[in-house]
Amino acid sequence: MELLCEGLGVDKERLKEMNFQEGRTMVAHYYPYCPQPDLTVGIASHTDPGVLTILLQDQRGGLQVKRGEEWVDVKPVPGALVINIGDILQIISNDEYKSVEHRVFANASREPRISFAVFFNSSDRDSLYGPLSDLISPEKPAHFRQFSYTEYMRRFFTKELDGKILGKLLHRLSGTTE
């Protein structure tokens, strides 16, 4: 978190106040062998809703991230952690950081695929979030409106996972703010 604040040039107390460490959740994923991997997916394309995700994947592979219009394999490296930027970081950084769209193929290998993710989310569900005031200026107005985490998660879970939903939900510049 301190590195993030340094990168953004904002006071580290600003992120501490948001209690993202306390709102962390760990999830274990188990992808069983899929005999017809061309007919389905492991996890459909999505961005993670929180601030950051730390992910440990095993050696089977299958995780991809979207770079521009291209899907790129995230090759498993023993002992390496994958850090994903989530939607909330994109919002509070006023688009300085972009959340990453990713997906997982169905597991074609006979052995199950296992991954562990730690999601850093807000623990304070009712406070209002939006771009940090230090990052807003006449040259760079707020790209997102204010919202509570409860509102954001309700919208996240009532939409199907379909690529990047954040722009459609809260982005002021896209013309589709709901």
Q: Which residue is nearest to ligand AKG (CB)?
A: 115
| Cα 67 to Cα 71, 79, 108, 164, distances in angstroms | 6, 24, 24, 13
Q: Could you tell me if 86 and 48 are in contact, meaning their C-beta atoms sit under 8 angstroms apart?
A: yes
For position 14 contacting ligand AKG by CB under 6 A, the verdict is no
Alpha carbon 111 to chain centroid, angstroms: 27
Binding track, positions 89-118, relative to ligand AKG; x by CB under 6 A: -------------x-x----------x-x-
Q: Which residues contact 169 (CB under 8 A, 6 or more apart)?
A: 152, 155, 177, 178
Contact partner at residue 54 from ligand AKG, Fe ion, none, CB < 5 to 8 Å by partner kind: none
Q: Is 34 in the site for ligand AKG (CB under 6 A)?
A: no
Site track 52-91 with Fe ion (rule: CB under 5 A), x = hit: ----------------------------------------
Decide whether 74 or 170 has the Cβ nearer to ligand AKG.
74
